[in-house]
Structure 1
Amino acid sequence: MPFAALAEERELPSVSVEASRTSQIGIAESANAGVVTQEQLEARTVYRSGETLEAIPGLIVSQHSGEGKANQFYLRGFNLDHGTDLRTTVDGVLVNQRSHGHGQGWTDLNFLIPELVSRLDYRKGPYYAAEGDFASAGAANVSYASKLEQGLASIGIGQNGFRRMLLMDSPGVANGNLLYALELFRNDGPFTNPDDYRKANGVLRYSEGTAANGFNVTAMAYRGAWNSTDQIPLRAVESGLIGRLDAIDPTDGGNARRYSLSTSWRRTNAAGATNLNAYVIRNELDLYSNFTYFDDDPVNGDQFNQRDKRTTTGVNASHTWPIAVFGRDSDNTIGLQLQNDNIFNGLFNTAARQRLSTTRADHIVESSAGIYFENNTRWTDTFRTVAGLRGDVYRFDVASDNPVNSGRARDSIASPKLGLIFGPWAKTEYYANIGSGFHSNDARGTTITVDPATGDTADRVPPLVRSKGAEIGVRTEIIPGLQSAFSLYQLDFDSELIFVGDAGTTEAGRPSRRIGFEFSNYYKPNDWLTIDADLAFARARFKDADPAGRRIPGAVEGVASVALAVNNIGPYFGALQLRYFGPRPLIEDNSVRSRGSATLNGRIGYKINKRARIELEGFNLTNRRDSAIDYYYASRLANEPVGTSTDDIHFHPIESRSFRLTMNLDF
């Protein structure tokens, strides 16, 4: 594609632009890559900011704790926990946190302001040279607008203590625009012990030029504090000991802070395109949880505190230039990605948020360098290839409070990629992709010698774990107004290596394989109706034989969603969204399974005039009493015999039906 056309394609729309979904014929490298436009995002109803990512076909965003905690993610047969194997960036700045105090790849999106999102790009599978750590299941890049067509003042009120105020605009300053946004938010949720989630969120950005030729400097600040109603045991609810919206330990909760400064610079001309962005982020988290209640400590209870304070710096640079290969149009891209994390984290036993003892405390310095090369060649009018090679080098330096767990580790990995694209014929393209990727493990697992909780000998884990994927797919726009994509994939991991933040140890799991399909559709039959309909299924199994079984606990199987949006019907607009989250195995032998859940959300709005509109949003409209998430493990309640624990399903309920009313004023 000529660079002028590429620049036009990548131009970010301003917040009030209404446009249909961007066609990916002749652009996408696979059937599972796509773009969610601002119009699609504006039409969706989201209970929490992280659910913005649910616009990605097949992705489920859930929560098992208080609202300020990072979300749970499910995609392509994975329970991605809080973000492992789903690489998430905002304007190119990585959100996933490595070697985190609670879980590897921690992805906290509570700082996201949905109204600022102008575009969401997604890719799935390890087929893309520019996507490194955490991208095996998928990668999502959120793009913020740099210029707004008008300012917005918004105020919302609702049930369960919901309050929200938002103010944003981008006045012209000097040769560019100074965008600002301020969000104040509070929500209790329906729980007996209110979430009391309070956040203050701000963005300040100066920009000049365009997305193809320009620069910006962005500062962000976020602070949040909350109580948690963590997952509760099913037996306690069925016996009448507690209600389904009650908590076992009402002192669970946490507080988080995030401050960032980033810059992005872009130049595009006939000779090539250069992109550069750099960032520094300060993240802090204090998290208090109690999942086993009185199992380990019958007197004080099992609450623990996980602390994580870090400064992350990073630089991403890439250059693309056109060349001729045997007389054919071809582009080469070379890229460099550097990141350093300076981390102080720890695990402490607590009671009512008061520290009792230290399980472990660590200072970690984790550094990485990734370099990649990619060639994109159109050999004929109906055949093109994308071939890439990526290399990553990691260095881990752990200074633990127990010297035997201190040490250094290094690792490197090479990841080849290849995509074959055939077509288009009759507005239809066919794809074949193969590639390998990886995820990093928690640095503490690479140097561990002794389990800090038990004192037993612990096995070290490899720093980097390889994934291998293959996929075939098709994308078509043969029916006017309808864009459809279907893909069939296989993804293997050398091992399901997971850092268990709740215990302070790293466990090396078994090799795994996932086979599945995804079917996504976007239909715009006229100027007032759009329909998104997506279906996905995955079969996840451990590859080796074991008496415990071959199912992967928590692995998502079937998911589906249908979203309808109407606009341009006089002064009225609205949306309706149905999400199905299928049952999942909770134990390796599949003898215990979660139930499926279905959630219906919607909204209706009225345009009072050209500048004012009012919206009523409804969540869980059918008031289903489903689970947002389920686990199966052993715990002990205070009234149960000391020294015994009970295996049980532990669940977090979806929020009961609630409504929110919002007034929006453009200025």
Structure 2
Amino acid sequence: MCWRICPLYPCLFRQVFFMVSAFRHFLPAPHHPTCSVLCSLAALGLFSEVTQAATPPPGPQDSTTPAPQVEQPPKTERIVVTASRRNLTGRAATASEGSITGTELRLRPAYRIGQLLEAVPGLVVTSHSGEGKANQFLLRGFNLDHGTDLASFVDDMPINGVSNAHGQGYTDLNFLIPETLSGVDYTKGPFHANIGDFGVAGSDHMKLASEIPREITLSAGTLGDYRAYAGGTVQMANGDRWVNAGALSHADGPWRYPDNARAIRAMSRYTHGSERKGFDITGMFYRGQWRATNDQPLEAIQNGMIDRFGSLDPTDGGFSERYSLSAHQHMSGENWNWVNNAFVVHDRLTLWNNFTHYLDDPVHGDQQAQDETRTTLGGSSAYTRHDRLATFLSDTTVGVQGRYDFLYVDRRHTEQRRPLPDCTSSTGYYVCNADSISLGAVGMYIQNTLHWTPWFRTVIGLREDYQGGVDHNLVDGSATHAGQWLFQPKGSLIFGPWKKSELYLSAGKGYHSNDFRSVSGSYSVDKFAAGSVSVPLMTEAISGEVGIRSTPLTHLNVQVAAFIIDFASELSYDGDAGVTSPGPASRRQGVEFSAQYNPLPWIELNTDLSFAKARYRTNDPQAYGIDGVYVSNAPDFVWSFGLLVDTHKHWYGGLQVRWLGHYALVEDNSLRSSGYKEVNINAGYRFTPRLKLEVSIFNLTNSHAFAAQYAYDYRLTPNAAVSTGATGHALEPTSARLAVTAGF
């Protein structure tokens, strides 16, 4: 009967069948537990953020027969306000923290999943490689590579990979299903006691929904991207909810050698209890593989060896797999609440990259395989009390966080993905580096918010972190043990609100951990002079911020912050070795502005503006093997503008404009990138509450810029001279994507 009701359903079924058939060699076996998850998808749910009660006008009455006077209960009118960020006046600890609503995540046009995080003011999420690899992040004058100083969490699980095969803090978000996200809380600066490793530039906590609508979505794009999604919620008789979601995807991109990126994702989440007491359990699965067009030498494009979508080594690519199980338990009383969580994650990663081409090996080329197998166990516990001390209101949180990583990581010299017996930079046989690492981390903290007067409050935090472990070098048989404690005081003074405005003064110490292999000397890189940088397990940073949060007009929220960050040692990406390595001390100074305006309940305008200056703090850069004090790849300027529209009837959509400004590619500033500008837009139409159509257009102006650029030594051909120059990964050209969503 449903075929007669909706003639689109047979088309949807055929598309799902086509995609499943295309993945028949990639999906797990029929009895694999992932198949069971994918076969049990169901859901129910709508969102509502603002609810107002309204009494309806009296209806017409019969003039001859008086109607009985029965009191009618008031009806509820749902008014959903389109808002990208929640107003945190009176609750925030700093001027730069915020909370992104699920509304923006649903309306925002995003070419790839990681770009949803560009809703964080001043954050740029781009790519310098294939679709399956972790994104490139830039924030507050940092080129964060794949996450070196941006702490990312999903369902309170830390995503940053310590001592990762490719880069410290590697943050791969490709396992996420966007339909399952309910919002993002973010911070900037090391001012929050509950944020530890990698949180100096900022942090983001992506929240998973406990309820999603029953939907099937099929999409197709002009760059060979296809996706099938199904998800929903099963409502139990006792109020419990069981969320299931799964997605299959494929992407080629504009590349001369298509990415052929294919992935499978699944999530199952069970929620029990009430806001006062309950628990949830979540399981997630992801598997992806792809070919990668890495950043290519501009010289090769200019001399005609390749075009801007070409590659000097079409065998670059990767494979990634991730399983996770996490759980939360919460309880609360009249003036307290206690939240506990635990998680276990297992993942595998292999990347094949050839950045320098024939620089080190003119015969076979410089491709290398970076392999990793990791299991991470961890959890956290936070207890909060709301008390009155004499006449002062006090909120105190005491918490502990911990994780333990068991990982094997190696690097091999390869040619067309085949391992070669000899390494150009090591005496290892078949492996250039191979390490078995066990690394534990624990952080303990306390944070108190004291309301001295109605217009003045203080936030004081203390945090102590310990990291320790052992690195077994499997090439030379050595073992390195290391451990370190780090104390971090933090605090804010908040004045206001006066006329709906608050002034914030914040200061604190934070840190990022370093790759254990750089601590032990298991691998060496030559970007910085050997022995010039002492590598601890944790590198500290000190930061200060002054800012204001204001609502000068009705429905207009503004945040302004000026910051300074001093790092004891900068982490920089080394293109020759394909890893991050520690360098000289650095300083960043900058100003950020953010505003959101809702002239009508169904429309929002928002804009973010960020300026930053990043320099090394050294009078002798030559001692570090560099020619200047400019921090390479650190953006000077970021601007964005957004428009969100949702009539809550038929039409909805979003517009996003992003401008990444110029930045130095080398330390003497003799070579610079011009950055890029990009315009993305999407528009959707709801035919019925259960059927909608959405069209997205990316890079609307067809910018020919580069999404990411670097500069390092390379050799284009076996007989060519060594060159030092810029490399680039082209921004995808104008493309379109059509998606059809049907409820069931």
Q: TM-score range by the shorter chain?
A: over 0.9
| RMSD over equivalenced CA pairs, Å | 1.9
Q: Are 2:593 and 1:487 aligned?
A: no
Which position in structure 2 is the counterpart of 1:651?
A: 728
- Written as runs of structure 1 = structure 2, the 5 A alignment for 1:191-270 is 191-210=255-274, 213-270=277-334
Structure 1 residues 449 and 281, CA gap change in structure 2 (3 angstroms): closer
Correspondent of 2:214 among 130, 133, 151: 151
Which whole-Å CA distance do the structure 2 matches of 1:450 and 1:426 have between them? 57
Which whole-Å CA distance do the structure 2 matches of 1:209 and 1:579 have between them? 42
Letter in 1 for 2:733: S
Q: Residues 415-465 of structure 1, C-alpha deviation per residue, up to 9 Å, x if partnerless? A: 0001111100111111000000011111112222774999x9767611110
Letter in 2 for 1:271: N
Please report how far the alpha carbon of residue 326 of structure 1 lies from its aligned counterpart in structure 2 after TM superposition: 3.2
Which position in structure 1 is the counterpart of 2:520?
A: 447
Which position in structure 1 is the counterpart of 2:110?
A: 46
Is the deviation greater in 509-518 or in 489-498? 489-498
SS at the partner of 2:338?
strand
Which position in structure 2 is the counterpart of 1:619?
A: 698
Please report how far the alpha carbon of residue 210 of structure 1 lies from its aligned counterpart in structure 2 after TM superposition: 4.1
Q: Contact (CA 8 Å) 2:493, 2:504: kept in 1 or not?
A: yes
Q: Are 2:204 and 1:140 aligned?
A: yes
Which position in structure 1 is the counterpart of 2:385?
A: 321
Which position in structure 2 is the counterpart of 1:665?
A: 742
Which position in structure 2 is the counterpart of 1:575?
A: 654
Structure 1 residues 210 and 659, CA gap change in structure 2 (3 angstroms): farther
Correspondent of 2:174 among 106, 110, 124: 110
Letter in 2 for 1:393: Y
Structure 1 residues 595 and 126, CA gap change in structure 2 (3 angstroms): same
Q: Residues 569-624 of structure 1, C-alpha deviation per residue, up to 9 Å, x if partnerless? A: 85222221110011100111111100131101101111111211101100001111
The runs of 5 or more residues in structure 1 that have no matched partner are 1-12
Q: Residues 14-39 of structure 1, C-alpha deviation per residue, up to 9 Å, x if partnerless? A: 66334434211111111100011011
Correspondent of 2:709 among 617, 630, 655: 630
Q: Contact (CA 8 Å) 1:103, 1:501: kept in 2 or not?
A: no
- Written as runs of structure 1 = structure 2, the 5 A alignment for 1:79-94 is 79-94=143-158
Please report how far the alpha carbon of residue 638 of structure 1 lies from its aligned counterpart in structure 2 after TM superposition: 1.6
Which whole-Å CA distance do the structure 2 matches of 1:599 and 1:469 have between them? 31
Which whole-Å CA distance do the structure 2 matches of 1:525 and 1:234 have between them? 46
Q: Residues 176-202 of structure 1, C-alpha deviation per residue, up to 9 Å, x if partnerless? A: 111000011101001010000000000
Structure 1 residues 504 and 252, CA gap change in structure 2 (3 angstroms): closer
Which position in structure 2 is the counterpart of 1:10?
A: none
Structure 1 residues 246 and 499, CA gap change in structure 2 (3 angstroms): closer
Which whole-Å CA distance do the structure 2 matches of 1:517 and 1:502 have between them? 33
Which position in structure 1 is the counterpart of 2:423?
A: none
Letter in 2 for 1:606: Y
Q: Residues 472-511 of structure 1, C-alpha deviation per residue, up to 9 Å, x if partnerless? A: 0000112111111000000000111457586277743111
Which position in structure 2 is the counterpart of 1:338?
A: 402
Please report how far the alpha carbon of residue 52 of structure 1 lies from its aligned counterpart in structure 2 after TM superposition: 1.0
Q: Are 2:445 and 1:372 aligned?
A: yes
Please report how far the alpha carbon of residue 639 of structure 1 lies from its aligned counterpart in structure 2 after TM superposition: 6.0
Letter in 2 for 1:311: T
SS at the partner of 2:673?
coil
The runs of 5 or more residues in structure 2 that have no matched partner are 1-43, 49-79, 421-429
Structure 1 residues 23 and 278, CA gap change in structure 2 (3 angstroms): same
SS at the partner of 1:68?
coil
Which position in structure 2 is the counterpart of 1:552?
A: 631
Q: Contact (CA 8 Å) 2:132, 2:289: kept in 1 or not?
A: yes
Which whole-Å CA distance do the structure 2 matches of 1:326 and 1:450 have between them? 58
SS at the partner of 2:437?
strand
Letter in 2 for 1:92: D
Q: Are 2:338 and 1:274 aligned?
A: yes
Structure 1 residues 502 and 87, CA gap change in structure 2 (3 angstroms): farther
Please report how far the alpha carbon of residue 303 of structure 1 lies from its aligned counterpart in structure 2 after TM superposition: 0.3
Q: Are 2:463 and 1:390 aligned?
A: yes
Is the deviation greater in 561-570 or in 584-593? 561-570
Q: Contact (CA 8 Å) 2:145, 2:573: kept in 1 or not?
A: no
Q: Contact (CA 8 Å) 1:272, 1:322: kept in 2 or not?
A: yes
Q: Contact (CA 8 Å) 1:445, 1:506: kept in 2 or not?
A: no
Larger Rg: 2
SS at the partner of 1:423?
strand
Is the deviation greater in 539-548 or in 347-356? 539-548
Q: Are 2:598 and 1:524 aligned?
A: yes
Q: Contact (CA 8 Å) 1:321, 1:332: kept in 2 or not?
A: yes
Structure 1 residues 326 and 502, CA gap change in structure 2 (3 angstroms): farther
SS at the partner of 2:431?
strand
Which position in structure 1 is the counterpart of 2:30?
A: none
Correspondent of 2:188 among 108, 113, 124: 124
SS at the partner of 2:312?
coil
Q: Contact (CA 8 Å) 1:344, 1:362: kept in 2 or not?
A: yes
Q: Residues 50-106 of structure 1, C-alpha deviation per residue, up to 9 Å, x if partnerless? A: 111100000000100000000010000000000011000011110001010100000
Which whole-Å CA distance do the structure 1 matches of 2:612 and 2:276 have between them? 38
Q: Contact (CA 8 Å) 1:551, 1:587: kept in 2 or not?
A: yes
Which whole-Å CA distance do the structure 2 matches of 1:450 and 1:472 have between them? 40
Correspondent of 2:484 among 411, 434, 456: 411
Which whole-Å CA distance do the structure 2 matches of 1:279 and 1:433 have between them? 32
Which whole-Å CA distance do the structure 2 matches of 1:591 and 1:452 have between them? 23
SS at the partner of 1:122?
strand
Which position in structure 2 is the counterpart of 1:5?
A: none
Q: Contact (CA 8 Å) 1:452, 1:504: kept in 2 or not?
A: no
Which position in structure 1 is the counterpart of 2:610?
A: 536
Identity %: 39
Which position in structure 2 is the counterpart of 1:402?
A: 475
SS at the partner of 1:170?
strand
Which position in structure 2 is the counterpart of 1:16?
A: 47
Which whole-Å CA distance do the structure 2 matches of 1:126 and 1:623 have between them? 38
Q: Are 2:569 and 1:475 aligned?
A: no
Letter in 1 for 2:185: D
Q: Are 2:499 and 1:435 aligned?
A: no
Letter in 2 for 1:623: N
SS at the partner of 2:269?
strand
Aligned residues: 651
SS at the partner of 2:321?
strand
Q: Contact (CA 8 Å) 1:404, 1:448: kept in 2 or not?
A: no
Is the deviation greater in 620-629 or in 401-410? 401-410
Which whole-Å CA distance do the structure 2 matches of 1:596 and 1:501 have between them? 19
Structure 1 residues 583 and 234, CA gap change in structure 2 (3 angstroms): same
Is the deviation greater in 107-116 or in 321-330? 321-330
Q: Residues 373-412 of structure 1, C-alpha deviation per residue, up to 9 Å, x if partnerless? A: 0111111000011101000011120001234752100101
SS at the partner of 2:589?
strand
Letter in 2 for 1:377: L
Q: Are 2:355 and 1:291 aligned?
A: yes
Please report how far the alpha carbon of residue 40 of structure 1 lies from its aligned counterpart in structure 2 after TM superposition: 1.4
Q: Contact (CA 8 Å) 1:15, 1:118: kept in 2 or not?
A: no
Which position in structure 2 is the counterpart of 1:381?
A: 454
Q: Contact (CA 8 Å) 1:44, 1:577: kept in 2 or not?
A: yes
Is the deviation greater in 110-119 or in 503-512? 503-512
Q: Contact (CA 8 Å) 1:583, 1:593: kept in 2 or not?
A: yes
Which position in structure 2 is the counterpart of 1:604?
A: 683
